[in-house]
Amino acid sequence: MILGVLFLIFCCSRTVHPTCSPLKEGKSTLTINSMSRADPFNMEGNWTCQSCRGDSVTACNKLEAYSLAKNPTCTVSENTESGDIKSVHISCSTSKVYPKAKCRFYRRKNGGNPVQIRTTPSYSHTETGETPVYYRSECSVTVSVKELGEGTHSFRGYIYPDVTVGLSKVKGTPADNIVNLSFPQASHSCLSQIVQGYFQDDSTTCTCSLSYDGYPKGTAQWYKGDQRVGSSGTLVVSRDRSCPEQTFTCEAVSDLGRRVRSTLIAKFSYAPNVTFTVEPAHTQFSNGSKLELKCSGQGKPDPTLILTKKETNANLTNVQTTELTHTLYLDCMDTGVYVCAGQNSKATTTQEISIGVSCPQQPNPLFYPTNKVDPSIQAIMGDTAHIDLEIYGYPEPTILALHRLSDDTDLTSSPRHSVTYTARAAPFGAVNVTISDLVEADFTVYTLTVDNGVGEALEYIFYLNQVDANDGDRLNIAAIVIGVIALVIFAGLIVVIIVLWKKNRDVETYPQNHQNCDYLVPLELSTIEDPIFVSASVPPTQRQYATIQATTDNPYVSTSYATETAQYETIKDMASTSGTHNCTSPLDVESPEFYRGLEPNISTIRNHTSSVHYRNISGQHGGILETAL
């Protein structure tokens, strides 16, 4: 534009006389009131700007005339197929507009910010028949449900004349409906039981199914990553060691898209693979050796490792890790089989190692807590005697020998004598001695030797004691035979012999007029260096006894009592036929038939002299018997 005074030239059917106005900052304006599109003064068209001197003409922008949309409306409809929504159709219309209308559409999801629908609208324009010309215009757009997505959707349309400032002149028209779209809901289940996250079977069938159809309606499908797997929501998964863990998703699929509803991590259990070693890598050890037991295992799920000793089934240690170490400082009792077990929900796998700890044969403390064995064996003439000795040691004995003590006769190979070893759970065992067809000479003292080549041999001295056939049925009644230690190990100059007391009653020979006779008989002498008297004058802490109710079925009843000095047993006699309490009159050493009521077996301790006294502490006659040993 040429600086100076400009004239606006109106392009019209008749000449318009220009009016000059001063140029301000290179601009000049022209204001037109009552814009007209009708003849004779149609103001639409191109305008020019000419300087006052007429030496230049500048083309101006086209003057646009427009009429805003009259009575605009917008509607929303759902496009369905087989009753299921596929898309949403939004349309806006006006009964009168100039020039032809343009449209713009917006959607709002869940009350959020408006988002323009980028789909190109479709248009329809029809002239109204008026002069100047006007149009009835309609525009519409279709949006797929996938583009819309899940949620509550509202819409707004803008219909305006197709001029530069048209859109800015309208506020938009809200659509008459909203649309609610939702994803289906799905979940899965499997036939096989899952323990600690692992399937126990080699294969399993899992089903992905809908719990809510959604809008639009969807289906349930299995996916592995982006790959669809299975058929109609059914998936078969099998154990695969090359791929111990597989991930699948149960998804709800519709026109809205895919959405993961649940995840299946397919893991299959495997039985533990167990490794069991010892350090040092031996199986035979000496007493006091240090031993490390190492157990490891791999499995699915991770196994619990349990270390036990097979013979006792006692847990040494257990941890839920892949490895454990247990340290032992060995003694004889540690001999046995050790078991490492790997245990999980699938199975239990075990490995065993046998350990031997060298030690001499010894009495089994489980049977003989005080290391003492009853040496008195009761037998009947002509029958078979059985002697069992429970022992422990390692290795098993290689020498078993039976000798008669009086003349040192070796009876091991005798046809009437048998000595065998029975192995029990290591390191335990038993030596079994049988003497058949007993004769009078068999009722004597024997020595049983057990040797495994480690340390001192075990020497067991026992006494075969004859009883009458009538008393044979009573051998298992308590207190008929009272014995004390009979296990002797030759380990020095002192040889401990046995003190035996035998109650061998013949009640038929007892007088019938004496009742309630009680005897205190030593069971075990803690010391025999000084005489021991038991009488009514002994303090209560040393004189402990009680009245015992005997019955016809059980003529011999006994109960043990402990005193500060020694241990005693109270015995009450009763006739098995009459049911009357009977015992000897004041015991008379001159009357052998009465003396049979308390018969001592006398033994000694080498190079030592001792005495023990007994007293009948009750009875009608208050008789006293003192016997020195």
Residue pair 376/502 in contact (Cβ under 8 Å)? The answer is yes
DSSP 163-218: STTTGGG---EE-S--EEEB--EEEEEESS-EETTEE-SSEEEEEEEEEE-TBTT-
pLDDT at 242: 78
pLDDT at 61: 67
Does residue 270 or residue 397 have the better pLDDT? Answer: 397
Compute how many other C-beta atoms are within 10 angstroms of the C-beta atom of residue 175.
Answer: 23
Please write the tens of the pLDDT for every residue from 228-244.
999 989 999 988 877 87
Mean pLDDT of the chain: 73
Three-state DSSP class for residue 519? strand
Q: What are phi and psi of 559, to 5 degrees?
A: -145, 140
Residue with tokens 């040496």: 375
Q: What is the pTM of this model?
A: 0.49
Strongest mean pLDDT among 181-185, 266-270, 318-322, 371-375: 181-185
pLDDT at 594 exceeding the cut of 70: no
The average pLDDT across 448-475 equals: 82
pLDDT at 346: 87
Strongest mean pLDDT among 452-461, 498-507, 534-543: 452-461
The average pLDDT across 389-398 equals: 94
- Which of 12-26, 419-433, 472-486 is predicted with the least confidence, judged by mean pLDDT? 472-486
pLDDT at 518 exceeding the cut of 80: no
Note the CATH architecture for domain 360-482. Answer: Sandwich (2.60)
pLDDT at 255: 93
Rounded distance between C-alpha atoms, residue 259 and residue 220, angstroms: 10
Is domain 270-357 given the CATH code 2.60.40.10 in the classification?
yes
- Which of 158-162, 415-419, 602-606 is predicted with the least confidence, judged by mean pLDDT? 602-606
Query: Which of 325, 342, 320, 335 shows the shortest CA–CA distance to 272?
Result: 342
67-181 and 360-482 have identical folds? yes
pLDDT at 103: 96
The average pLDDT across 155-171 equals: 93
Pair of tokens at residue 9: 């030239």
Pair of tokens at residue 199: 């399937």
pLDDT at 381: 93
pLDDT at 224 exceeding the cut of 60: yes
- Which of 106-115, 138-147, 434-443, 604-613 is predicted with the least confidence, judged by mean pLDDT? 604-613
Indicate the pairing of strand 376-380 with strand 458-467: parallel
pLDDT at 371: 66
- Which of 101-105, 341-345, 434-438 is predicted with the least confidence, judged by mean pLDDT? 341-345
Residue pair 420/378 in contact (Cβ under 8 Å)? The answer is no
Q: Edge-to-edge strands of the sheet including 557-562?
A: 518-524, 567-572, 557-562
Confidence of residue 32 (pLDDT cuts 50, 70, 90): confident
Instruction: Determine what percent of the chain is predicted with pLDDT higher than 90.
Output: 48
Confidence of residue 7 (pLDDT cuts 50, 70, 90): very low
pLDDT at 206: 94
Does residue 612 or residue 85 have the better pLDDT? Answer: 85
First and final CA of the chain: distance in angstroms? 156
Residue pair 417/402 in contact (Cβ under 8 Å)? The answer is yes
**Residue 408 DSSP symbol:** T
Pair of tokens at residue 259: 């959405």
- Which of 280-289, 406-415, 575-584 is predicted with the least confidence, judged by mean pLDDT? 575-584
Is domain 67-181 given the CATH code 3.40.47.10 in the classification?
no
Does residue 226 or residue 511 have the better pLDDT? Answer: 226
The average pLDDT across 534-556 equals: 33
pLDDT at 59: 66
pLDDT at 390: 93
pLDDT at 268: 87
Helices (H), 216-355: none
CATH topology of domain 185-267: Immunoglobulin-like (2.60.40)
Query: Which of 313, 314, 304, 309 shows the shortest CA–CA distance to 335?
Result: 309
Confidence of residue 99 (pLDDT cuts 50, 70, 90): very high
Please write the tens of the pLDDT for every residue from 325-376.
999 999 999 999 999 999 988 899 999 999 999 999 999 988 887 766 778 8
Confidence of residue 560 (pLDDT cuts 50, 70, 90): very low
Please write the tens of the pLDDT for every residue from 253-304.
999 999 998 999 888 888 899 999 999 988 899 999 999 999 999 888 889 9
Please write the tens of the pLDDT for every residue from 301-316.
889 999 999 988 888 8
pLDDT at 55: 62
- Which of 115-124, 416-425, 579-588 is predicted with the least confidence, judged by mean pLDDT? 579-588
List the domain boundaries for the chain: 1-65, 67-181, 185-267, 270-357, 360-482, 502-629
pLDDT at 515: 35
Does residue 210 or residue 518 have the better pLDDT? Answer: 210
pLDDT at 485: 31
**Residue 496 DSSP symbol:** -
pLDDT at 252 exceeding the cut of 80: yes
pLDDT at 80: 92
pLDDT at 497: 29
Rounded distance between C-alpha atoms, residue 190 and residue 266, angstroms: 10
